[in-house]
Structure 1
Amino acid sequence: MVKIIKHTASMQTRDGVRLDADIYSPDTKEKLPILLMRQPYGREIASTVVYAHPRWYAAQGYIVVIQDVRGRGTSEGNFDLFSYEIEDGFDTIAWVSKLPNSNGKVGMYGFSYQGMTQLYAAVHQPEALVAIAPAMVAYDLYTDWAYENGAFCLHASLAWAIQLAGETARLKEDEATYLELYKASCNLPVNDLIPANPELMQKLAPDSFYHHWLNNPHPDAEYWQKRSPKYLLENIDLPMLHVGGWFDPYLRGTLNLYRTMAAKSKYSQHLLVGAWAHLPWGRKLGRIDYGIEAQNPIDEIQIRWFDYFLKGIDTGLLEESPISLFEMGSNKWREFDSLPQSDRVYYLASDGLASIREDSGMLWQYEEPGDGDAISPRELLETDLAEQMTEFDNNIDIIVRDPWRPVMALGGHATYPGGSFDRSALDSRSDILTYTSAPIASDLHIAGTVNLAVYCSVEKPSFDLCAVLSVVQPDGKVFNFTQGYITVNSTSQEIQAVNIPLQDTCMCLAAGNSLRLSISADCFPAYPVNPGTGKLPFETRLMEREIITIAIHSGADYPSQIKLTTVNKNNSYL
């Protein structure tokens, strides 16, 4: 067994701030590449919630450096979310590339904040940085992390802000503040006078990033422009191993970064998405055991990735398909050359009782008269949609949103715990509309983007819509596998089409199961309860929330529909 030596070392940033790091290295005189992780949670943790310990990586022939970012752990300076990571990252790469026994080549790995530090470190294109492996990141900090389709990501943002504020209190040895924040982390304060702006955060964490996120509700604000990798990485090109999870709240960031880099990069861009939440990465999530193949393969894959780019070893990785997606349901990894795009259409139909009866709302595909075969998406585009749907009357399903009893989040990607849960009881609520397909005759493989276009009318200036796609089993259990959320601001009371992107997915529905779409006006506390007044979350008082009545239209004149892509066993599109 290789002997691993650990020691602590420090560096000075360009403005004289000391940053501390633990360094793990094999007991050898051989020149080795560097694997660097920069993180804010105390370097001893080293992201071992999802990755192997640094000693394991060092045993594979690397010098592994785990550094506390500015103002965290034992590093000096003031912590200010993402504000110093460009310059500090550049300076750190220059430092580690010259460590004793370094061969001068640096790779970076890590997820979440540790993934973001990789992107920021690349901004000024340090020569020593050869390859990175960003996992679960934001490409656009506004759209991929803080907000989803205009809706503030309340649960994820507040829980993270409280955690970071608690760490600040611990470093200051402020035990009273730490205890109060720790208690709040176990029971989020989302029912204050202003629910999205709890008094605790104003009192105990007035300098938190949370206030900037909440008070900058528009994507064009300077705050987002200065911090989003989307605007900082325009001229950057590096080999990147992108890692995501189907139930990760930041999957859209991972996919947006991958799509951008794959379209422009001269280097390899690989993508891997597992059946995981932000953490853990394993075979079990929510109420589902995805089997032995769902176990975390990232450590071995990262070594193959870095062996190729930092050591020049042909590991065969680049001869494999660039995209690996874990298909839930079949519980197998599937390989793709490109990400599938939406093209299969299911229409919503109802007799007006989709809020009351599970057999009222339905999802259907148009069938050619007489032959019983579903029309293909391409043929569908060439036909008169209204003429096809004349057999269905125009119908209206009504959601009455009562702010006293909002629809609570259950699994999915935007709250904790994430994942797939049986939502059959939740779907029986009269403020949730359900549309269910007939049992599927043969296995249905869904992969890629999912979008809902729904016609609705509301007599309020603002409302939210939540869309959840689930599999309905023959025993009546209903397990969610993707969902989306949007805030709509409109002065019109006319019928309008609202487009809701759902989280990308890869799912196999077994024969005999059905597909279900559930629509509601809340998903609390994943997102704030929309007051219906047009006020923004940072100014909405608890008692100002109003009852909202939303009419969902379907039928010949209002073809509300869900679009997705189906693939066959050979990954060609159907």
Structure 2
Amino acid sequence: MYQVKKETLSLTTRDGIRLDADVYRPHSTESFPILLMRQPYGKQIASTVVYAHPIWYASQGYIVVIQDVRGRGTSQGDFDLFAHEIEDGFDTINWVSQLPGSTGTIGMYGFSYQGMTQLYVASMQSKALKTICPAMVAYDLYEDWGYENGAFCLQTNLGWAIQLAAETAKLKGDSNAFHKLYEASRNLPLSDPIPAYPNLMKEVASNSFYHDWINYCYPDNYWCNLSPKRFIDKLDLPMLHIGGWFDPYLRGNINLYNAMKIRSNYPQNLVIGPWGHIPWGSKLGSHDYTKLACSFIDQYQIDWFDHFLKGKDIDYLYSQPISLFEMGSNQWNYSKSWENKDEKNYYIFSQGLANVKENDGQLIDTISDNNVNDIIVHDPWRPVPSVGGHASIPSGSFERSQLDTRFDILTYTSEQLTEDLLISGTPFIEIYCTADAPSFDICAILSEIKPDGKVYNFSQGYCRINSEKLPIKISLQPTCIKINEGNYLRLSISGACFPAYALNTGTGKFPYEERLIDAKIITIKVWSQPDQPSTLILPIP
């Protein structure tokens, strides 16, 4: 390992904006490849909430460059979410490739916004950029980040918008705005007349991306122009894709991986752990996944960069390109591909009391000859709260047996399993349902029930429904879990999951105009019959 020294350097972009970066160099006369991270949270943080410090990466024999993007940290210019990352990223690649003591070859790493910057600059096809490691990113910004099946991801979007707006206020020296936003970050403002559009964002964050995200409710050109999906045909380089089973952007990671796997000439490796967005450790929610779940990403990335930037042979990168943590058994599964080879179907059955009696709603293996009709009432005054999952803060698996006793939640439970059930991939439900409102939501949550009766969620999906096209197919969060013999599987269905998703007022209006005072009580009917079976579809290997 090398000793490391640090300096701060700057470049000037094509339009005259100064961008600052901390540069960490090994104490040596050798030449080294470059690792680049471009991020909006202050270069000193350097994503150390999930990665080792840049000093550690530099000590492995790399020049590490951590840059403040335009309008963030000490860099000049106005910050505009994702808007300048292609051109600024390309100027940065050209600059760092010529740093003294470098080999001129570059790899990039980082998660979330820092992951997105990698995809944007990779579209420029610079010969100096040899590989990237995008973690927790969007492929389609609308479907994978801003919205889920047409529903606005309120808690994550609002929390992030407040964080970025507070940083803007800090840079401007606006103490009043900063402290209002800081307070709001600790207790999200969800009680305004329009719950999804707090007055605070209009008062002290007028330039926030949040205004665009909540107003552009459909996947139009706004979203298309910002989505990596738009330039997928320009991406072709080795990628290490990193995600978490409880990360809100896992859909993006997997969609990007699948797209690259089909078209790329280079290795595409995938790692998914039992992690939320932050942190990547052994414990999340109510679960301890053991020390095996602790992040090994730093060493994996060094091996990856050693291979693609230094030419070292690292056999496991090819022999085990897929690394999936299997919850339940708490072990890593390694393979050469991740494909759903088979499916297992469950069908809902009840006597019409699946929201009243815990033993009434059932998941059964065969389609029943009887008609099933269950009804729940969504009351916006007391919506079903979000607890864990991938879209809530905090994320993860939590004990929810008390929540499932609410009369506005339908629960369907399997028989006690007589053998282990391994679920690996993306579950779906195909559900027949209608409501007495022009718009309503369906939340579907999968849980395992332990023999002691405790219930732990492991996957969920959410959909805003504005049409009567049936059945409604809802994708759930991808997962990998072994439900042990002796446990039970449960499907819970409700009309809300607040504040993870914006509250549906039943008015048919958009989230940015849905006033709480106008909210209507919605009666939702769920049914299953021989020719219209409501079905849970599980991917099994």
> Scaled by the length of structure 1, what TM-score is found?
0.93
Taking the aligned partners of 1:496 and 1:298, their CA distance within structure 2 comes to: 43
Q: Deviations over 1:277-304 (max 9, x none)?
A: 0011000000100011100010010011
- Partner residue in 1 for 2:221: 222
CA contact (8 A) 2:349 2:368 kept: no
Taking the aligned partners of 1:317 and 1:56, their CA distance within structure 2 comes to: 22
Q: Deviations over 1:448-489 (max 9, x none)?
A: 110001111212110000000000001010000000000000
- Partner residue in 2 for 1:572: none
How far 1:502 moved relative to its partner? 0.2
Q: Does 1:72 align with 2:72?
A: yes
Taking the aligned partners of 2:78 and 2:69, their CA distance within structure 1 comes to: 10
Q: Secondary structure at the match of 2:426?
A: strand
- The letter for the 1-side match of 2:403 is L
How far 1:58 moved relative to its partner? 0.5
Q: Does 1:117 align with 2:156?
A: no
Taking the aligned partners of 1:23 and 1:452, their CA distance within structure 2 comes to: 49
- Partner residue in 1 for 2:24: 24
- Partner residue in 1 for 2:462: 485
Taking the aligned partners of 2:531 and 2:190, their CA distance within structure 1 comes to: 41
- Partner residue in 2 for 1:314: 313
How far 1:60 moved relative to its partner? 0.6
- Partner residue in 1 for 2:40: 40
CA contact (8 A) 2:124 2:234 kept: no
Taking the aligned partners of 2:298 and 2:40, their CA distance within structure 1 comes to: 21
- Partner residue in 2 for 1:539: 513
CA contact (8 A) 1:350 1:554 kept: no
- Partner residue in 2 for 1:275: 274
- The letter for the 2-side match of 1:59 is S
* Superposition pairs of residues 394-433 of structure 1, within 5 angstroms: 394-433=371-410
How far 1:395 moved relative to its partner? 1.4
Higher mean C-alpha displacement, 548-557 vs 534-543: 548-557
Taking the aligned partners of 1:234 and 1:80, their CA distance within structure 2 comes to: 25
Taking the aligned partners of 2:374 and 2:269, their CA distance within structure 1 comes to: 43
- Partner residue in 1 for 2:325: 326
- The letter for the 2-side match of 1:80 is D
Taking the aligned partners of 2:107 and 2:71, their CA distance within structure 1 comes to: 23
How far 1:229 moved relative to its partner? 0.5
- The letter for the 2-side match of 1:523 is C
* Superposition pairs of residues 166-245 of structure 1, within 5 angstroms: 166-219=166-219, 221-245=220-244
- Partner residue in 2 for 1:298: 297
- The letter for the 2-side match of 1:184 is A
CA contact (8 A) 1:26 1:59 kept: yes
- Partner residue in 2 for 1:378: none
RMSD across aligned C-alpha pairs, in angstroms? Answer: 1.0
Taking the aligned partners of 2:318 and 2:516, their CA distance within structure 1 comes to: 56
Taking the aligned partners of 1:489 and 1:336, their CA distance within structure 2 comes to: 40
- The letter for the 1-side match of 2:85 is E
- The letter for the 1-side match of 2:97 is S
How far 1:557 moved relative to its partner? 3.1
Q: Secondary structure at the match of 1:453?
A: strand
How far 1:178 moved relative to its partner? 0.5
- The letter for the 1-side match of 2:291 is I
- Partner residue in 2 for 1:370: none
Taking only the aligned residue pairs, the percentage that are identical comes to 59
- Partner residue in 2 for 1:564: 538
Taking the aligned partners of 1:418 and 1:545, their CA distance within structure 2 comes to: 28
Taking the aligned partners of 2:364 and 2:271, their CA distance within structure 1 comes to: 32
Taking the aligned partners of 1:340 and 1:36, their CA distance within structure 2 comes to: 32
For structure 2, the 5+ residue unaligned runs are: none
Taking the aligned partners of 2:198 and 2:406, their CA distance within structure 1 comes to: 29
- The letter for the 2-side match of 1:470 is S
Taking the aligned partners of 1:130 and 1:340, their CA distance within structure 2 comes to: 28
CA contact (8 A) 1:23 1:66 kept: yes
Q: Secondary structure at the match of 1:192?
A: coil
- The letter for the 2-side match of 1:405 is R
- Partner residue in 1 for 2:489: 515
Q: Deviations over 1:383-411 (max 9, x none)?
A: xxxxx632xx1010111111110000000
> Scaled by the length of structure 2, what TM-score is found?
0.98
CA contact (8 A) 1:85 1:120 kept: yes
How far 1:321 moved relative to its partner? 2.4
- The letter for the 2-side match of 1:271 is L
**2:418 aligned residue (437, 441, 450):** 441
**1:555 aligned residue (489, 504, 529):** 529
Across the two proteins, how many residue pairs are aligned to each other?
540
- Partner residue in 2 for 1:354: 354
CA contact (8 A) 1:37 1:108 kept: yes
CA contact (8 A) 1:214 1:538 kept: yes
Taking the aligned partners of 2:267 and 2:128, their CA distance within structure 1 comes to: 18
**2:479 aligned residue (486, 493, 505):** 505
Taking the aligned partners of 2:231 and 2:18, their CA distance within structure 1 comes to: 26
- Partner residue in 2 for 1:246: 245
Q: Deviations over 1:43-90 (max 9, x none)?
A: 000000000000000011100000000000000000000000000000
Q: Does 1:527 align with 2:506?
A: no
How far 1:275 moved relative to its partner? 0.2
Q: Secondary structure at the match of 1:276?
A: coil
Higher mean C-alpha displacement, 248-257 vs 496-505: 496-505
**2:368 aligned residue (389, 397, 407):** 389
Q: Deviations over 1:111-164 (max 9, x none)?
A: 000000000111111110000000000001110000000000111110000000
- Partner residue in 2 for 1:570: none
Structure 1's consecutive aligned runs of 4 or more residues displaced over 6 angstroms after TM superposition are none
Taking the aligned partners of 1:318 and 1:191, their CA distance within structure 2 comes to: 49
- Partner residue in 2 for 1:261: 260
Taking the aligned partners of 2:302 and 2:365, their CA distance within structure 1 comes to: 46
For structure 1, the 5+ residue unaligned runs are: 367-387, 568-574
Q: Deviations over 1:508-532 (max 9, x none)?
A: 1111000000000000001111111
How far 1:196 moved relative to its partner? 1.1
CA contact (8 A) 2:319 2:336 kept: no
Q: Does 1:469 align with 2:443?
A: no
Taking the aligned partners of 1:496 and 1:107, their CA distance within structure 2 comes to: 47
How far 1:190 moved relative to its partner? 1.4
- Partner residue in 2 for 1:382: none
- Partner residue in 1 for 2:144: 144
How far 1:232 moved relative to its partner? 2.2
- Partner residue in 2 for 1:60: 60
- The letter for the 2-side match of 1:557 is D
Taking the aligned partners of 2:149 and 2:2, their CA distance within structure 1 comes to: 50
- The letter for the 2-side match of 1:555 is Q
CA contact (8 A) 1:394 1:558 kept: no
CA contact (8 A) 2:47 2:110 kept: yes
